[in-house]
Each structure stands twice: as C-alpha cells, then as structure tokens.
Structure 1
Amino acid sequence: MPLLINNKETEQLLDMTACMDVLEAAFKEEGLGWATNRTKSNISVPTDDPNLWYRYCSMEGGIKSLGVVAIRIKTDMYSWPFLHGRRREIKYCGAPGNFCGLILLFSTKNGEPLALLNDGYIQHMRVAATAGLAARYMARQESTVLGILGSGGMARTHALAYALVRPLVRIKVYSPNPQHRNEFAKEMSKTLGVDVVPMENPESAVKGSDIVAVCTDAVGPALSGTHLEPGMHLTTVRETELAEDAYPCISRFVEYRAGICEQHYATPESHRPPSLGGSTEEWRRLVELIPSNRRHTLSAVLLGRAKGREDDRETNLFSSEGSGVQFAAVAWKIYEKARNRGLGRDLPLEWFLQDVRD
C-alpha cells in the first residue's frame, strides 16, 4: 500500500549525510544518462488583489536504478511587501503560516503509487545537500569560516551540510532581523559545536569568509561583486541574490538544474508578477559572462569530467535549482526507511487505482 509520510516522520528518517549520499549517486546517474528530469514549470494567476498572485510549481524526474519517478508540486499565494528595507517574497497556502508542497512517488516497475510525502523538510535538506556536494569539490580544503546571509531554514541546513565537508570553526550570520540572527547563532552554535556569531551588516558576514551562502527571501541582489575576495566559494539559493557586477569576478561556475524554468501566465504579456520564481534567460546571460571553459555541471564535476577548483585564488560560484531527480532520490530514500521502520500511514491502493481506461 502507498505510504503517507509527513515532515516529522521525514525528519526522523533523513539526516544530511544520507541525503548527500543518495543525491550524489543520483546526480552521477543523471550525468551518465540513466536519470532524467522534466524542467521546472510555474503557472502564475493574478487575483482580485493586485498585490497577491497564485503560483503553481511542478517538477518531475525519474531514476532507473531506484525504479522510481516523482513529481513535486507546490501551490502557494505570493506577495512582495517591503520588510526590513527590502522587497521580499512572502508565500502561504490557505492562510499565512501554512504551506502546501507534495511529492508523489511512483514505481517504474509496476506503475503503482508508492508514497505521498510533505515536501517541507525535504525541500530544505535537498537544496543544502546539493550545495554541500558542490562545496566538497569547489571550496578550498582549508576553509574554516562560513558566512551566511539569511537565518531561516535554508541557512540552517546549509550550515549543516558545509560542516560535513569542511572543518568549520566559525560561522558568521547576518539577517536584517536582529532576533532572527541571534536565535540562529545560539541554536547552530549548540548544534554544530562551533563559534557562531551574529553580524550587524552583510559586509561583515562576508568579509574574510572562505565560504559564503546566500539564503534569503529578498527579491533582488543581496551580495555585490565588491564584497567578493580571492579564494571564496559562493552559493546562492535564488538566482537573483547575486548582483550583476559579481559575475565578471567569478573564476568558475558550477550548476545543477534541469534547464531554465518555464513560466506560464494567465495574463497577457503586459501583466506579470513582480517576481517570477526560478531561473530566467536574463540570468543565463549573466552566467555567460564567465568563460565557457569554466562553466560546468555538477554531474560533470562529480564524475571527474570537470574540476570544481584549480587553485586557491579562484572565486567560484555554485547555483542550483530544484529538479525532479532530487525529489525522486530523496523521497525514495525516505520511503525505503519508512517501510523498514514502520513509519508513515498506509493508504489503500484502491484509492488510487481505477478500472476505467484513459
């Protein structure tokens, strides 16, 4: 019978090491042609409130060796208020504080549904695990200082991932909300056993850091090229977080994505939301400022076909975007563990099957 697996159960079943391991194997398979994605796709629909939009997001992927295909879907209401001096992307489902993201996992051996999972915990883990895999190959071996812009769930899981691949001794965090950055510092210092310091401004969080992770909900740049230093390894969660002036400073670029995000609108071309969500052709043109022989896919780096770093003075950048392969791999790992440990709730298979042919 298919399993219904919630976020609390997922947290019991998946740690960062396991997440990184299953994703590394999946990315290698993808690079060899044994896994595939359908490009991330958004549908944006305006509401009667000009400041509120609806967005549906989906992505699918399949992996031969695991015998699974997954689709991840999100359904959210979006607005873009100014908070703490910047325009930010705020979302919810039904009411503020609630969110709806689901993963449907299917067997490629008999076509049956295997599991229905909440995506919240998985979302934070798979983004950070992917960034951690990249840092294993792209950050300098002696990297000990991590600078983070942002103090939410993404910032927390990124800190966990980087601590697994480099000997961190200090983390500097900046959030425009003093309470948030202080809480992050207290929590992550206890979790990781390293010195975590809240900073008063983004410049001080970035300066002198070996690794810099930008994990914000800001619409627009959060990191400028003037802040970059030789030898830094950078990661952004959102493509817009890095200012245009930073791209000419990048020595090497590595990415993981299934292509430029497809955008669909229930509006004419003259009417678009303030922020689209996902990568764009305009962003791709910025990436192309980096020499083509220094732009690689993460799969190529993991397979040894390309280098993540060639010398200690390189300032390199990793960028990723959600893919179905990520969700298929992680959902499969959770499903297998849930079956073995008796977690999750069984759903009757007959709820999903029918005797009417399409």
Structure 2
Amino acid sequence: METLLLDPEDVAESASLPAVIDAVEGAFGAYARGDVQMPAKSYIDLPQHDGDFRSMPAYIDLVEEEGWEAAGVKWVNSHPHNPDDHDLPTVMGTMIYSDPETALPLAILDGTTLTRLRTGAAAAVATRHLARADATSLGLVGAGIQAHTQLEAIAGVRDIETVVVADIDADAIAEIIEQYGDDYEVREGSIDEAAACDVVSTTTPVEDPIVESVGESTHVNAMGADAAGKHEIADDVLLDAKVVIDDHAQCTHSGEINVPYTAGVLDDEDIHAELGEVVAGQKPGREAGDGVTVFDSTGLAIQDVAASHIVYEHARERGIGTDFALVGTET
C-alpha cells in the first residue's frame, strides 16, 4: 500500500471541520479514560540558529466508542528569524500518520494547516461544554489566521450572530470583516468590547496581559500562550473563573496559567478540570450559576492525530492527494 502525500491545499480540502471537532472531542474523552498514549513533547534546542525542533507523538484507541484507532507524530519547529533571513515561515510542521496495526505510514500531511484546524477544533469542544447554550456573540482578540479558524469552529457549536474583532492590525481586521461579513454582523472593537462577548478567543503572543475584564458569563478560549512567560488574561479574571485546561503539565509550564502558577498566585485548587475530564463526564462543564469560564489550550498531540484521522479518511474517499511508494517491499 502506498503512502498519501497531502499538501496544505489537500489538508484544507479534506478537512470537514465538524468532523474534526467531533474527533478531537473524542480524543479528549479517550485521554481522560486512559485510552491514549501521549509521551511528553520533546525538544531539540538550536541556540546557534535561534530555533528549535519539537516532536509530538500520540496513539488514540477509540475502537470501542467510535470504531477507530490512530497513531502519528508531528515534527514542528520554531525559527523566529526565518521570515527575514530565509523567506520561510517561523513555524513549519509535518505530520506522519500511521496505521497502528502494521505501522505503515498512511499519510504525510502538512502539519501547519493541520495545527490550525485542530486548534480551532479544541476551542469549539471547550465552547460546547463551557459556554452558555444561548451564546450568540463572539469576540476575537487577535485577527491573525487562527482567528479565522476560531470563528469557523465556534460558529459550528453555537449560534453566533455578532463578531467583535480587536487587533492593532487594521488590515487583518478588514480581512475578517470582508470574509465573514455576509454571514455575521462583524465589526471592529476594543479588547474590552471583544472580551465582553458571550465567547471570546484570544490568539496573541503577549507576555503582559491585555484582557483585563470580561463579561459576567463570558467563556474565554485562551489560545495564545504556547511558551513559558506568555500571558494574555489578567490574573484577577483567571482567579474568578472556572478554569479548565487541556493538560496539567503543559499548561503549568507554557499555557495561559503558567505565569501566575509559577508565581504562586494560582494553584491546583484554582483549576477545575482538564477538558478531557469534562468531555468524559468525570467533572461538570458549565453549570447553572456559573459565571466566567476559561479554557487554557496549549495543544496536544492527540488533537493532531485525531484531525489527521479525519483528513486522511476524507482524502481517500475523495481521491485527494498524491500516492507515493515510501515503504519498499521486503524479499
């Protein structure tokens, strides 16, 4: 059997976002039940190049619940000087998606597009379980490419009517308004206005909090913090909220809570649950009387594997991608 090569356009064309959301939700539930293997993310630091490599492997067993299992590894980098020095992206990812039974590499996928999709899907899963059922307004703090996926994914789980976008880049805001203005009431607003919406997703790389207040019952998807020192949401907001994280080790090291947790401002008593526990029904999501909820997302390898499963299956069904002989035949 040949391996399927899926470039960025192939991944985007093969990704049914509702199916990716459901698969990522299933992966979170499997994680809470102990039906995944996910070694810690490993790093190769390259200070001489001001960059690093990261490997993210995982296996998911959802055979009993959904009839599938999957395995894979994402190889991703961060080289901040790439755009200026080499005309290359800062971050590039490659995903190897494998058959757990035979170890055959079923597909090699563009991991950058995949990451964008699975990150939006994680926010949608959190929104499904933590936001008010009648939420109709969405705030976007940060108008980069991830903001687009946040909107598309969250609108798949809540009836979004109004979108408020805050960013220092007027062109980025204009792009969102132009792309989605026919489907929603989209307008530019301040960070405070965006954060007062029923749901707000923050996707900025800041180290000093920029969201100082939110609405009385806002659900916050804190998506921007992915390294130690990054911090978008004010400590007072976090301390007053029901906080749900994707993974304790990752979030306390490099998620939204990493700064106040390290400083002792916030501790384990202030963390309600991991998202998988909520999905699996082990701990409650939004309850009557809840005010602000926060989802701290760092991104897990199981999300990449789950998204790869959907993309691969859809690509095979539709004849998308390029087959090639990666594995030779033994004699």
* Range into which the TM-score falls when normalised by the shorter chain: 0.7 to 0.9
1:318 paired with 2:309, answer no
3-state SS, counterpart of residue 132 of structure 1: helix
Other-structure match for 2:193: 204
Other-structure match for 2:112: 120
3-state SS, counterpart of residue 43 of structure 1: strand
Q: Which runs of 5+ in 1 are unaligned?
A: 80-89, 264-276
Of 304-313 and 147-156, more deviation after overlay is shown by: 304-313
| CA deviation map 1:28-55 (0-9, x unaligned) | 22222111211223333223xxxx7112
For 1:55 and 1:130, the matched residues in 2 are separated by 25
Assess, with a 3 A threshold, how the Cα gap between structure 1 residues 10 and 93 changes in structure 2: closer, same or farther: farther
1:299 paired with 2:276, answer yes
Assess, with a 3 A threshold, how the Cα gap between structure 1 residues 43 and 315 changes in structure 2: closer, same or farther: same
Q: 1:283 Cα shift?
A: 4.9
Other-structure match for 1:254: 244
Other-structure match for 1:75: 77
Other-structure match for 2:60: 63
Assess, with a 3 A threshold, how the Cα gap between structure 1 residues 262 and 3 changes in structure 2: closer, same or farther: farther
Q: 1:305 Cα shift?
A: 1.6
Assess, with a 3 A threshold, how the Cα gap between structure 1 residues 15 and 283 changes in structure 2: closer, same or farther: farther
TM-score normalised by structure 2 residue count: 0.87
For 1:119 and 1:72, the matched residues in 2 are separated by 7
One-letter amino acid of the counterpart of residue 68, structure 1: A
1:244 paired with 2:235, answer yes
Q: Do the aligned residues in 2 keep the contact of 1:222 with 1:243 (CA within 8 Å)?
A: yes
Q: 1:219 Cα shift?
A: 3.9
Other-structure match for 2:211: 223
Other-structure match for 1:272: none
One-letter amino acid of the counterpart of residue 134, structure 2: E
Q: 1:241 Cα shift?
A: 1.6
Assess, with a 3 A threshold, how the Cα gap between structure 1 residues 18 and 93 changes in structure 2: closer, same or farther: farther
Matches within 5 A, 1:106-117: 106-117=98-109
1:345 paired with 2:322, answer yes
For 1:152 and 1:294, the matched residues in 2 are separated by 29
Q: Do the aligned residues in 2 keep the contact of 1:22 with 1:330 (CA within 8 Å)?
A: yes
How many residue pairs match? The answer is 320
| CA deviation map 1:92-122 (0-9, x unaligned) | 8942447521001122101221111001221
Matches within 5 A, 1:153-302: 153-190=145-182, 193-199=183-189, 201-206=190-195, 208-224=196-212, 227-239=213-225, 240-250=231-241, 252-257=242-247, 259-260=249-250, 282-285=259-262, 289=266, 292=269, 295-302=272-279
One-letter amino acid of the counterpart of residue 218, structure 2: M
Q: 1:169 Cα shift?
A: 1.3
Of 10-19 and 93-102, more deviation after overlay is shown by: 93-102
Assess, with a 3 A threshold, how the Cα gap between structure 1 residues 261 and 44 changes in structure 2: closer, same or farther: farther
One-letter amino acid of the counterpart of residue 324, structure 1: A
Q: 1:211 Cα shift?
A: 0.9
One-letter amino acid of the counterpart of residue 223, structure 1: V
For 1:144 and 1:161, the matched residues in 2 are separated by 14
Q: 1:280 Cα shift?
A: 8.0
One-letter amino acid of the counterpart of residue 248, structure 1: L
One-letter amino acid of the counterpart of residue 78, structure 2: D
For 2:255 and 2:267, the matched residues in 1 are separated by 20
One-letter amino acid of the counterpart of residue 19, structure 1: V
> In percent, how many aligned pairs have the same letter?
23
For 2:178 and 2:216, the matched residues in 1 are separated by 30
| CA deviation map 1:102-145 (0-9, x unaligned) | 00112210122111100122111111111111111111112111
| CA deviation map 1:48-67 (0-9, x unaligned) | xxxx7112122111012333
One-letter amino acid of the counterpart of residue 237, structure 1: M
Q: Which runs of 5+ in 2 are unaligned?
A: 226-230
Assess, with a 3 A threshold, how the Cα gap between structure 1 residues 98 and 303 changes in structure 2: closer, same or farther: closer
One-letter amino acid of the counterpart of residue 36, structure 2: A
Q: Do the aligned residues in 1 keep the contact of 2:72 with 2:98 (CA within 8 Å)?
A: yes
Root mean square deviation, CA, Å: 2.7
Q: Do the aligned residues in 2 keep the contact of 1:69 with 1:328 (CA within 8 Å)?
A: yes
One-letter amino acid of the counterpart of residue 103, structure 1: M
Q: 1:91 Cα shift?
A: 6.5
